[in-house]
Chain A
Amino acid sequence: MKYEAVIGLEVHAQLLTDSKIFCSCSTQFGAPPNSHVCPVCLGMPGVLPVLNKQVVNFAMKMALATHCRINPFSVFARKNYFYPDLPKGYQISQYEHPLAEDGWVEIEINGGKKRIGIIRIHMEEDAGKLIHDPYKPVSYVDFNRTGVPLIEIVSKPDIRSPEEAVAYLKKLRSILRYLEICDGNMEEGSFRCDANVSVRPLGSEKFGTRTELKNMNSFKHVQRALAYEIERQISVLEEGDVVVQETRLWDEAKGVTRSMRGKEEAHDYRYFPDPDLVPVEIDSEWIEEIRQTLPELPDEKKERFIKEYQLPPYDAEVLTSSKELAHYFEAVVSACHNPKMASNWVMSELLGRLNQDKRDITECPIAPEALGELIQLITKGTISGKIGKTVFEEMYETGASATEIVKKKGLVQITDEGVLREIAQKIIETHPKEAEQYKAGKEKLLGFFVGQMMKETKGKANPQLANKIFKELLKG
C-alpha cells in the first residue's frame, strides 16, 4: 500500500527584546547562571508580572508577515505543570484567545509553490535551562532563560514530507530574521521546532494516530527525524500493528526516535486565565502602526529581483534567503551595474568561498563595492574572467582592492592585437605538428593554441582576441 505523511509543526521563536516578557531582567544569552533573575521570573509569592510592549509589537509583526488575523482581544493563561525548569509551577502562555490566527506562508517545493496554513501565533514565556549531571542523578537549574519572550507558531497539518517541513521552517526563519525579531539560531535554541507526525493510506481523508517529535536542533535533524519516524510508522502499520500516541525524542547519534515514557499525564495542563495579567486589546490603529514598520519581506524581494534584475527564480530565491545577502547583492549591482554578473559572482565564487570557511555573508572580507569594482574590471576588458578569479582569491585573502592587485601583479589583459599576433606566430613555429594537424581539419586543436598563448602570457591574453588571431593565422 502507498502511504502519505501528515505533518504539523510547532515553532518556538525567541524574540529579540532587551528585557524579559514580564519583568525588566535582561534577555542576554550566555550570562553567568542565575544572574538575570528577579522575584518576578523566579515566581516569588506576591509579585506582579507586567507585559513588555515590544513583545506585542514583535508578535504582531510576525502575525502580519504571515497573513494572520490579529485578534482585537487576547488573554494570557496559565499552563500548569510541574517541572524544575519552571519556578512558578505554570507557564504564562495564551490559550483560548491567542494574539493571532489563521494565516499562511508560501514555500517552494519541486519547482512549484505551496501554501502552508498557520493555525495560530501566541505569546508566552520561555522556561529555564536544565543541565543534567553526567554521573550523579541530579540536574542543575539556571533560570536566566525563564521569562525570555517567545512566540509559538502552530502550523496546520498541511505538510506532506520532510522536505516540505524544512522548506516551511526555513521560510519562517527567514521572515523572522527579515523582521529582526528573532536571530533564528537553532543550535542556541532561539528557534526551536516540535513536530506532530502521522501517516495514512494515500487518498484517505482520515488522520492516522500521531506522535510528537522533540529534540531536533537543526534543519538536518528535522529532516532525518521526520524521515525516520514516517518510515517507522509505516512499518508498524504494515505489520498489522497500531501507532501509539506518544512523545518521541530524536536521537541524532543513533539516528532513531525513542519513546519518552511517563509523560501521559503531562498533557493535562488545566489552563485558566492568568488573574495577574489584564487582557490585551489591539485596535486597527495599532495594527496599522505596526504594518507601516514591516520591511520588504523575502517573497516580495524575490519577485522584485526576478523583475528588476531579470534573475532566474532559483538565483532570486538564494539571494533573498537572508536580508544581509540580498543587501550585499544589491550593493554589488549598484557598484557594477551588471545584475547578471553580480549574481554569478555572488552565487558561485563568493558563496562558495564563504561556505568553504563556514562563514556567513556578514563575515565576508570583501566589501560589495570592492566586488563590484572587480566585476567592472572584467566587463571593461581590463582583465579576463579567468584572471578575475585569481584576483578574487587575493582580495578575499588580503582585503586589497581589485585595481591594486591588478596593478601590482601586472595582470592587465593584453588586448594589443599586434603583440598577441607576434606571440601567436612564435607558438605556431614551435608547434609545426599541431599546426599541420589543425590545417588538416583537426579544429579542436584551437583550444591547444589558445592554451599555449595563455601559458605564454600568464593568462593575460584576451581570449576572444587570441581565438580570432589563431583562426586567421592557421587558415588554409
Chain B
Amino acid sequence: MKISRQEVAHVARLARLSFSEDEMELFTNQLNQILLYMEKLNEIDTQNIKPTYHALELTNVLREDKVGPSLPPERVLSNAPAENKDMFVVPRIIR
C-alpha cells in the first residue's frame, strides 16, 4: 500500500472534506492505484538531472512597481454570501 486509510483521512480533513466509511474505502483504493502508477517515474534515473520547478523555461517575469486600478467594492463583494460595511462576513474563527 502506498497510502494508508489514516493518511487519506488526514488529507481529507486538511481539505475540509468529510466522507462516509464506504467513500473512505473507495478513495483510499483509488489513491493507492494512482500512486502506484506514478511510482513508474521512479524507474527513471534522475541522478544528474536538475528538478523542474516550472514547465516553462522562463525566469524573471517581473512588473514595474506601478499602481493600477482596483475593483469597486460592490464588485468585490458581489459574490459574498454575507457582507457588512463593505466587508465580508464569516463565521468567527480565532486562530
The digit string for A1-42, where 1 denotes a CB below 8 A from any CB of B, is 000000000000000011100011110000011111111001
Partner of B59, one of A37, A54, A132, A278: A278
* Given A36-B70, A75-B53, A280-B60: A260 touches B86 (CB 8 Å cut-off): no
B85 touches A53 (CB 8 A): no
In angstroms, how far is the closest chain A Cβ from the Cβ of B65? 4
Tell me, yes or no, whether A270 is within 8 Å of chain B by CB: yes
B15 and chain A: residue at smallest CB distance: A82
Majority secondary structure, B binding face: loop
Tell me, yes or no, whether B40 is within 8 Å of chain A by CB: no
Majority secondary structure, A binding face: loop
Tell me, yes or no, whether B93 is within 8 Å of chain A by CB: yes
Task: Bin chain B's interface residue count.
Answer: 35 or more
Partner of A139, one of B55, B68, B93: B93
B68 touches A25 (CB 8 A): yes
Tell me, yes or no, whether A218 is within 8 Å of chain B by CB: no
B54 touches A273 (CB 8 A): yes
A42 touches B76 (CB 8 A): yes
Partner of A131, one of B53, B65, B87: B87
* Given A140-B88, A275-B55: A37 touches B76 (CB 8 Å cut-off): yes
> Quick one: which of B13, B66, B71, B73 has the most chain A CB within 10 A?
B71
A33 touches B93 (CB 8 A): no
Partner of B16, one of A36, A82, A279: A82
What count of chain A residues pass the 8 Å CB interface test?
53
In angstroms, how far is the closest chain A Cβ from the Cβ of B7? 11
- What residues of B have a CB within 8 angstroms of the CB of A102 in the complex? none
* Given A34-B76, A268-B14: A26 touches B70 (CB 8 Å cut-off): yes
A140 touches B84 (CB 8 A): yes
A19 touches B71 (CB 8 A): no
B71 touches A265 (CB 8 A): no
- What residues of B have a CB within 8 angstroms of the CB of A83 in the complex? 93, 95
A52 touches B88 (CB 8 A): no
A279 touches B59 (CB 8 A): yes
In angstroms, how far is the closest chain B Cβ from the Cβ of A286? 9
A140 touches B87 (CB 8 A): yes
B53 touches A38 (CB 8 A): no
B14 touches A265 (CB 8 A): yes
A278 touches B58 (CB 8 A): yes
Cα A263 to Cα B95 in complex, Å, equals 7
The digit string for B12-25, where 1 denotes a CB below 8 A from any CB of A, is 01101000000000
Cα A279 to Cα B56 in complex, Å, equals 10
* Given A137-B92, A260-B95, A263-B95: A38 touches B71 (CB 8 Å cut-off): yes
- What residues of B have a CB within 8 angstroms of the CB of A345 in the complex? none
Which chain B residues have a beta carbon within 8 Å of chain A's beta carbons? 10, 13-14, 16, 53-56, 58-71, 73, 76-77, 84-95
Cross-chain pairs A/B with CB under 8 angstroms, 19 sampled: A18-B67, A24-B63, A24-B66, A24-B67, A34-B87, A37-B76, A38-B68, A38-B71, A42-B71, A50-B63, A83-B93, A84-B93, A97-B53, A131-B87, A133-B92, A141-B87, A273-B53, A275-B54, A281-B60
Given contacts A25-B67, A140-B90, A270-B14, 12 further A-B contacts (CB under 8 A): A23-B68, A24-B63, A33-B73, A33-B87, A35-B73, A52-B65, A54-B64, A140-B88, A143-B88, A278-B58, A278-B59, A279-B54
Which chain A residues have a beta carbon within 8 Å of chain B's beta carbons? 17-19, 23-26, 32-39, 42, 50-56, 75, 80, 82-84, 97, 131-133, 136-143, 260, 263, 265-266, 268, 270, 273, 275, 277-281
